A = this chain, B = another copy of it.
Amino acid sequence: MSTTNNDKQFMQAAIDMASKGMNSNAGGPFGAVVVKNGEIVAAGHNEVTSTNDPTAHAEVVAIRKACEKLGTFQLDDCEIYTSCEPCPMCLGAIYWARPSKVYYACNQQDAADIDFDDQFIYDEIGNGIENRSIKFIPLMRNEALQVFKDWSEKIDKTEY
C-alpha cells in the first residue's frame, strides 16, 4: 500500500511523541497519534510508570484522548499512527475503537529486542483459557447470566 508525505508527517509526530515520553520519563519509548480528515486529533505516549497505569500505552492514551475530543466512543474514519506495532491490549483497544487504518513503524521483534516482549502475551491468548500462566477460574456463571438476561431485555440501552 502506498504512503504519502502526509503519512510520513503523521508518523514522525508519533515518533516524536515516543521520544518526548521517553525523555520526560513518562514511560517506555512509544508514541501514537490519531488523525481525522488530514489533521491530528490527539497524540499520546506511553505513561505506564509515571501514572501507575499499566493500560497507559501510547495507543490507548491516544485513543482515549481522541474519543474524548471527538465526543464519541468510535474512531470511524480515523487513522492511527503508532511508533510500534501494537501489543495485544492495544490491538484489542484498536478493534473496539474501529479506526479505518493503522500505520506502524517498529515491529514486534524490534520491541522484543529492547525487552518489551509481547510474544508472551500473544502466546497466552492463543493457549486458551485453561492453559494460561495466570490461572483463570470459572465461578458463579449462573448468577452473572441473570445480568446478561436483564441487558437483553433492557429497552433504554446504548449498544456498542
Q: Are B141 and A54 in contact (CB under 8 A)?
A: no
Chain B CB within 10 Å — which of A55, A90, A152 has the most?
A55
Given contacts A63-B54, A93-B54, are A11 and B140 in contact (CB under 8 A)?
A: yes
A102 to B130: give the CA distance in the assembly, Å. 11
Least Cβ–Cβ distance between A56 and chain B, in angstroms: 8
A103 to B144, CA, bound (A): 12
B105:A137 contact, CB within 8 angstroms: no
Interface centre among A12, A14, A139, A158 (most CB of B within 10 A): A139
Interface residue ranges, A against B (CB under 8 Å): 1, 3, 7-8, 11-12, 14-15, 18-19, 22, 25, 27-29, 48-49, 52-55, 60, 63-64, 67-68, 70-75, 81, 83-85, 87-107, 110-111, 113-115, 120-122, 124-126, 129, 134-141, 143-145, 147-148, 150-152, 154, 156-160
